A and B are shown apart, each in its own frame.
Chain A
Amino acid sequence: MVAQEAHGHGAPQGFIRKYVFSLDHKVIGIQYYFLALAAVFVGMFLSLLMRIHMIWPTAVLPLVGEIKPETYLSLLTMHGTIMVFFVLTTAPQSGFGNYFLPIQIGAPDMAFPVLNMLSFWTTFVAFIVMLAAFFVTGGAPLHGWTGYAPLSALPSAGPGEQLGADLWITSIAIFCIASLMGALNFITTTLDLRAKGMTLMRMPLTCWAWFITAILGLLAFGVLLSAGILLLLDRNLGTSFYVPLVVVNGQVLGHKGGSPLLWQHLFWFFGHPEVYIAILPGMGVASQLLSTFSRKPIFGYKAMVYAIMAIGILGFVVWGHHMFMSGMSPYSAFAFSIMTMCIGVPSAIKTFNWLGTLLHGRIRLHSPMLFAIGFVSLFVSGGLSGPFLAQPVLDIPLHDTYFVVGHFHLIMGVAAIFGIFAATYYWFPKMFGRMMNETLGKIHFFITLAGTYAIFMPMHYLGMAGQTRRYSQFTEVAYQAKLIPLQTFMTFAAFVTIAAQFIFVINLFWSMKKGPKAPDNPWEATTLEWTTATPPPHDNFGGHTPVVNHGPYEYSVPGATRDFILQTDPLTVHQK
């Protein structure tokens, strides 16, 4: 516990200092959130074009014209890259984490406010560089978000693989640096700035999630950065890290002796922790909301903490499960597969504990809670296809099919997004001082839940039937052409689901200006952000330092006068 340091700077004046280069973690959190919001609409638009092209490959669309097979692959590459980096690694961690980690631990700001501001603007620059890839000669790269070499290392291997690919790699490198800066800040803040009484085991599970996620980022992004540098060297300086002797378009290229598998090892060593970075904050939010809206402590707080840690640690030793078919040693494959099955265990523990939290509660079904419940459902659905893929022998028919696409979309593309929605509906009153519209929230929830299941559940059927992924159309392979009706259904489900997201956006922006004014603690929650003003003042707690006397989820404590105890409430008969 640390003496509350005098907050280093007073509230800034002037538009630029207040809203552009703000050092206030709350403003920076909102900046990240809006960056992610812009990115998700770009990503969603790309996926809309993809789904249209799959069903009507020869259609000429307004504005975009005809989508050629290579364009489809560029859309696919940029969709994946933008969604994974600029949405799923940004909104849950840098967006909500930045805003609420300091407040939930009772700190006046992040440990390094200037670094925080720089990390946002660096992320912003990375996003601009990424978008620039669309506009250069050759367009955006077509090698998938996974960027396997040699396809990604050879400018002549396809359209978009020239400057577009260099910009893609550069953007990711810049993003790595921004993420490392952010991770450093989150870790130092959590370790050093907790208020008196806020022991690690009294931190809300959201803080644990942000903390462990930051550690994962710290260890993983450096490896991605290295991989990207090696790729840039192969592409531009003629080195052969990843490229063996190859012949492209009849030309023998000057590379020799490189290993395509090296890229895969480096990429997935980062890539697997990355998917846990995408989901852990959502799990933290789900735990927080399930407890709050059931009016019950989270079932098994300690187990939840250990589960997050176990997921984090194990996340670093399973990367080979992306490479079972790659030509990697089958003995390594066996080892990776055992570790992968192990990582299913802490995930299962969390699911049991979420169900245990609901049991015997008094559940209030407001919008944030609906999305938290949806998160649990989607996590179960997406998670259970994991044990199929984790077994190498079952991965043989399923690898690189729609089964995998369905698996990761249910978890990252929907469950993690539901985590972001849940956090938005939950914390909107605190951030903007107004309530979002409940009716619109419920409509948004039901359509999105049904819609995303309608899009992504059928992908498992397609995968079992052998539908390979990253195909721009299905007309060339007879058994795949038979599956087009199911793909058509999914495209129409996508139309409806994408349309429903506009309900959310309208609700978001309209409520910011016109929503009913929010009380300081509309959900009757216990954690520190609900003890302070709405929106919080510049130093979060209005000049005094919180002192914490209780755990984070003291709901319905027997003998208490009301059904929740704020973490800062004075000590009573009950103390946890």
Chain B
Amino acid sequence: MATLTSAVDLKIPRPGGGGGVTEPPVRGGGDGDRGGSYPDYGGRLRRARVGLIAGLTSVTMIFVALTSAYIVRQGLPTYNEVTKTYVRDWMGVNLPVRLLLTNTFLLLLSTVTMELARRRITQRAALAPVASIPGVSLGDDREVPWLGITIVLGFGFLTGQWIAWRELAARGFYVATSPSSSFVYLLTATHAVHLAGGIMALLWAGSMSVLHRPVERRRIVVDVAGWYWHFMGLLWVYVFALLYFAR
């Protein structure tokens, strides 16, 4: 059986917080359960990203299904027994466009802050081994809390959506008012639910920071949550465009 044994045996302080001595990452035929070897964060990140792509594929399929239902329903004629003809009964919804545009702005702004957070933690994770060398500082004392801002903006978006639903109701469009209004609530609510999931991931990343988990592990969570967040932003633009242009 071909195996590789670890040839190098340096003792360097464990990066990213936490005590103990470690060996540098062993590539190719790792050492299994033997304690103390540096975890393969690069591999974990890649794995997490592949998992994210798979997850986003299934979210996409949900919206593909809802979109096709929307398009089909829009074009579907209904049989009118009295006139014995097929008539189209699709009526547009009076969307609170300004409100929705404000929400869109908040969400797109949050994708910017999310990306800033993601890039910063990527840098910090890369520099983690260096940062633990005594006397070295990365100058990270007073930084803008991009992750926190993203979470606030995310909550802002959800609140804004809630306000938009109230406004829709005030205009007489409830869930069951008409086929088009049903779809407006359905599509926006489905997106909101998924965005809320994203906020929970960001909150978890934040809590990892408070609990002083290794920065490389936090980086993986923020990276995956970040790409998820960008996808949610694009998805929202798509949903809004669909509801607005394909009225």
* B58 touching A184, Cβ below 8 Å: yes
Contacts known (A219-B61, A225-B62, A543-B33); A191 close to B50, Cβ less than 8 A: yes
Give Cα A539 to B30, complex, Å.
13
Kindly identify which residue among A7, A184, A230, A238 contacts B55, using a CB–CB cutoff of 8 Å: A184
B26 part of interface (Cβ distance < 8 Å) = yes
Give Cα A420 to B223, complex, Å.
40
* A226 touching B51, Cβ below 8 Å: no
Closest chain A residue, CB of each to CB of B55: A184
A461 part of interface (Cβ distance < 8 Å) = no
Q: How large is the interface on A (under 10, 10 to 19, 20 to 34, 35 or more residues)?
A: 35 or more
B85 part of interface (Cβ distance < 8 Å) = no
B153-179 interface with A by 8 A CB criterion: 175-176, 179
B76 part of interface (Cβ distance < 8 Å) = yes
Measured between beta carbons, the chain B residues less than 8 angstroms from A222 are 58-62, 64-65
* Distance to closest chain B CB from A489 (angstroms): 43
A318 part of interface (Cβ distance < 8 Å) = no
A257-293 interface with B by 8 A CB criterion: 257-259, 262, 265-266, 269
A438 part of interface (Cβ distance < 8 Å) = no
A147 part of interface (Cβ distance < 8 Å) = no
Give Cα A3 to B62, complex, Å.
35
Closest chain A residue, CB of each to CB of B79: A244
* B33 touching A7, Cβ below 8 Å: yes
Give Cα A238 to B179, complex, Å.
11
Give Cα A233 to B55, complex, Å.
25
Kindly identify which residue among A184, A238, A544 contacts B1, using a CB–CB cutoff of 8 Å: A544
B27 part of interface (Cβ distance < 8 Å) = yes
Give Cα A393 to B55, complex, Å.
41
Kindly identify which residue among B57, B65, B175, B190 contacts A223, using a CB–CB cutoff of 8 Å: B65
Closest chain B residue, CB of each to CB of A537: B33
Give Cα A269 to B37, complex, Å.
47
Q: Mask for B25-38, Cβ within 8 A of A = 1, else 0?
A: 11111111110010
A227 part of interface (Cβ distance < 8 Å) = yes
* B26 touching A257, Cβ below 8 Å: no
A64 part of interface (Cβ distance < 8 Å) = no
Measured between beta carbons, the chain A residues less than 8 angstroms from B72 are 259, 262, 265
* B186 touching A233, Cβ below 8 Å: yes
Give Cα A223 to B61, complex, Å.
6
Give Cα A570 to B69, complex, Å.
56
Contacts known (A218-B58, A259-B76, A570-B2); A3 close to B28, Cβ less than 8 A: yes
A180 part of interface (Cβ distance < 8 Å) = yes
Most chain B beta-carbon neighbours within 10 Å: one of A112, A183, A184, A265: A184
* B76 touching A257, Cβ below 8 Å: yes
* Distance to closest chain A CB from B65 (angstroms): 4
Chain A to chain B contacts (Cβ below 8 Å), 9 pairs: A6-B31, A187-B54, A191-B50, A192-B50, A196-B29, A238-B176, A257-B89, A262-B73, A545-B3
